Amino acid sequence: MTYLDHAATTPMLPEAAATLTEALGRVGNASSLHSAGRRARRAIEESRESIAEAVGALPSEVVLATGGTEADNLAVKGLYWARRAADPRRTRVLVSAAEHHAVLDAGEWLAEHEGATLDVLGVDATGRVDVATLREALAAHPGEVAVVSVMWANNEVGTVNDVRALAEVAHEYGVPFHTDAVQAVGAVPVDFAASGVDALSLTGHKLGGPVGAGALLLRRDAACTPLLHGGGQERDVRSGTLDVPGVMSLATAVRAAVGDIERRTATLTALRDDLVARVVAEVPDARLNGVPLDRPGERLPGNAHLSFPGCEGDSLLMLLDARGIECSTGSACTAGVARPSHVLLAMGLDDDLARGSLRFSLGHNSTAADVDAVVEAIGPVVERARRAGDALARS
Amino acid sequence: MLEHSEVLTCAERTVRVLAAMSGGVDSAVAAARLRDAGHEVTGVHLALSAKPATMREGARGCCSVEDSRDARRCADVLDIPFYVWDLATRFRDDVVEPFVAEYAAGRTPNPCLRCNEKIKFSAVLERARALGFDAVGTGHYARLEDGLLRRAVDPDKDQSYVLGVLRPDQLEGALFPLGDSPKAQVRAEAAERGLVVAEKPDSHDICFIPSGDTQAFLAERIDEAPGEMVDPSGAVVGHHRGVHDFTVGQRHGLGIARPAPDGRPRYVLGLEPVSRTVRVGPAEELDVTELTASDPVWLVEPPVGPLACAVQVRAHGGLVAATVRVGDDGVDVVLEQPLRGVAPGQAAVFYRPDADGDVVLGSATIATTSR
């Protein structure tokens, strides 16, 4: 099996799996006062410190949560509510057009149910948000924006934003800045303090940790209204009994992934560049989406996103799947129907080309053999998918 | 060229089969049987609605999210790959819009038949073939043996009528593994196999009209074209909003306040969209003894002389012995006994009666009827 869908989820690192399974056998609620509780609390706090250290945050800035979707919702809604409460004129939400639905739909929900106005920031042809675009949007309604959210790295095309510069502009206008960094942490250097952002989402299962464990890094001075009310855990911002094994495993994975970043970047970049070059050699009219490979710092090292003119992405996916190669076409609706990606459309691709696109995402256990398998399959697969596209147009 | 007898049919050799899975019990069991027969089976759910409803509405829709999930769940239990194919645009262009246009033109279309002809065994089969599949398998109740399409064993479930429009090259790529089983057996088999859809109700309605209210569906899509209802004497007995509200043979919902002079019920006898006239009259005026039909498709050599056969003029019932003659513009059909409620737009499917299951010879679309 050739698994090239690490951006969807990546296998757990052995040490993270070991931490998790070991901890599963132990009792203890981190809020309890007895010794089992103290043990659990110590494990949580050590994990928190470990995560904080790996991503340049203070331990008190780590708000543990279940993952990217929860962290994104908490940040977008929580920062919005708090900022609007402090200044009722601030009712605008600014998000980039390339955001994950966890951010986009949270913004849309605020617009539908909380009287917010959602402004979507356009992206350039590589999927990047220009600093000038953000400045313009803020300047158009000074004093009215409550929150800005722009992702650190895009999940589909791997484009890395200049988050630090974007956050700086938001702050010039007195607006808190959130970034969804679930694809970035463990893949590119992320330093919370140096980035200047107010809130940052990360999740375990994209970096070798468990599904269901993640965090929102939240500056001490960032006001955030909670989504979940209850026992007052996590600075009263996120109530709920903490998942001790999950958090411990998350910490192990974050530490391991971040510690290995240099070596892994070199390996993945080489594999990815090889994959793209050889796929394009097999299918000359295939085109790479996102940032060109000669600008390595601006693209996730494991991301190869390609369009194959004349093909339906779901035909390609099916044919590759039948050959044991697992990749992704982007998003599907709830009924499972493949939809052209909103990210690609925002980048200016037409509907057909957007539909004929595949994402190969490499990760910590990817090998040269994986690349060979794709290169061997892609020519015949594309040829067949094109015939199927023609057949559909003809019949 | 190989002689026909030397060619193994799809059912006899191991092939790559695309199983169309609606989320219902029939297509799930069909996929299971194909897999058990040794074929390499991939399940595909056809998304036919541009905006699928989350839950089924009304009696049963066939492209809700719930149906897609049911199909996926069955494919998972069968351990076969599963995908969703988006055919909403094709379905709209080739099935729904012609359906509306036919009603507007005073005819009564059968969308299931059109879906088999244009979607399942055209768009889907063509795409499947291009992707390297040999055949499309469905949960239709019909038998396909040695290139002959026969009625299913279960007479209540037989769907040979809605498959009768397929050309030989389409049937070559078709597999119907349920044709030799009664429905009850299929349900029992589904339960035995642990398929969650074993108890799921049958679909009866038109899948794209989950409310079952065809008139309301058409009213949203066809402008009102009011006209008169005229009885056989030429007297105007009522008014209507458009011929699309009616089907030949319809008795209820005519909205005529005044009863017929003889007190007997009136039926729709004919629809004339140009003059916007709905002809109504007594039941016996519905009797049809001759009809013409266009666009014939033959599964046997097109007959040169008169062909004695049985003709079926609607999905359930309406079967009678007849003689078919092929002409320049289609076929002329003379019925041995009069049939009632023969609606232009429906298919006339020609069968050769056979104790081992009537054989479909061909079909054509009913154009005109006469007494």
**Residue range B48-54: mean pLDDT, rounded:** 70
Chains A, B: CB contacts under 8 A, how many? 66
Per the prediction, chain A carries an average pLDDT of 96
User: Which of A106, A102, A124 lies closest to A114 in space, CA to CA?
Assistant: A106
pLDDT of residue A331: 64
CATH 3.40.50.620 domain residues, chain B: 4-199
CATH: 3.40.30.10, 3.90.1150.10, 3.40.50.300, 3.30.465.10. Which one for A260-394? 3.90.1150.10
pLDDT for A130-175, tens place per residue?
A: 999 999 999 999 999 999 999 999 999 999 999 999 999 999 999 9
Element (H, E) at B309: strand B307-312
pLDDT for A31-74, tens place per residue?
A: 999 999 999 999 999 999 999 999 999 999 999 999 999 999 99
**Residue range B82-111: mean pLDDT, rounded:** 93
**Residue range B74-96: mean pLDDT, rounded:** 94
Tokens 């065994």 identify what position?
B121
Q: Look at residue B129 and tell me whether its pLDDT is greater than 50.
A: yes
A152 contact partners, CB below 8 Å, separation of at least 6? A160, A161, A163, A179, A180, A181, A183, A184, A188, A190, A200
Per domain, the residue ranges of chain A are: 14-258, 260-394
Contact across the interface for A318 and B81, Cβ inside 8 Å: yes
Amino acid code (one letter) for B319? L
Just give the CATH number of A14-258.
Answer: 3.40.640.10
Q: How far is B282 from chain A (nearest CA, A)?
A: 45
Q: Look at residue B154 and tell me whether its pLDDT is greater than 90.
A: yes
Contact across the interface for A391 and B127, Cβ inside 8 Å: yes
* CATH 2.30.30.280 is held by the domain B224-285: yes
Q: Is B62 a catalytic residue?
A: no
Measured CA to CA in angstroms, residue B267 lies from B216, B314, B337, B348 at distances of: 21, 18, 20, 22
Contact across the interface for A318 and B83, Cβ inside 8 Å: yes
Q: Which residues is A119 bridged to in the sheet?
A: A94
Of A321, A333, A395, the CB nearest to B81: A321
Contact across the interface for B132 and A319, Cβ inside 8 Å: yes
**Residue range A252-256: mean pLDDT, rounded:** 98
Q: How far is B84 from chain A (nearest CA, A)?
A: 6
Percentage, residues of chain A above pLDDT 70: 98
* CATH 1.50.10.10 is held by the domain B287-370: no
Q: Look at residue B4 and tell me whether its pLDDT is greater than 70.
A: no
Same fold flag, A14-258 and A260-394 = no
Q: A85-92: long-range contacts (C-beta < 8 A, 24 or more apart)?
A: A85/A223, A85/A225, A86/A223, A87/A143, A89/A143, A89/A144, A90/A143, A90/A144, A90/A145, A90/A146, A90/A175, A91/A115, A91/A116, A91/A117, A91/A144, A91/A146, A92/A116, A92/A117, A92/A118, A92/A119, A92/A141, A92/A144, A92/A145, A92/A146
A112 contact partners, CB below 8 Å, separation of at least 6? none
- Please state which CATH class domain B4-199 belongs to: alpha beta
pLDDT for A177-208, tens place per residue?
A: 999 999 999 999 999 999 999 999 999 999 99
DSSP for residue B266: P
- Region of B212 (left: φ > 0; alpha: ψ -120 to 50; beta: rest) is left
Tokens 């009209």 identify what position?
B209
Residues of chain B found within 8 Å of residue A332, distances taken between Cβ atoms: 84
pLDDT of residue B13: 74
Q: Look at residue B68 and tell me whether its pLDDT is greater than 80.
A: yes
pLDDT of residue A333: 61
Tokens 């929860």 identify what position?
A70
Element (H, E) at A46: helix A35-55
Q: How far is B346 from chain A (nearest CA, A)?
A: 23
pLDDT for A225-241, tens place per residue?
A: 999 999 999 999 999 99
Q: What is the DSSP string of B62-96?
A: SSSHHHHHHHHHHHHHHT--EEEEE-HHHHIIIII
CATH 2.40.30.10 domain residues, chain B: 287-370
Tokens 């369009």 identify what position?
A307
pLDDT of residue B255: 83
Q: Among A321-335, B60-74, B332-346, whose mean pLDDT is lowest?
A: B60-74
Contact across the interface for B72 and A336, Cβ inside 8 Å: yes
Q: Are B244 and B104 in contact (CB under 8 A)?
A: yes
pLDDT of residue B6: 44
pLDDT of residue B257: 76
Check: pTM over 0.90? Answer yes or no: no
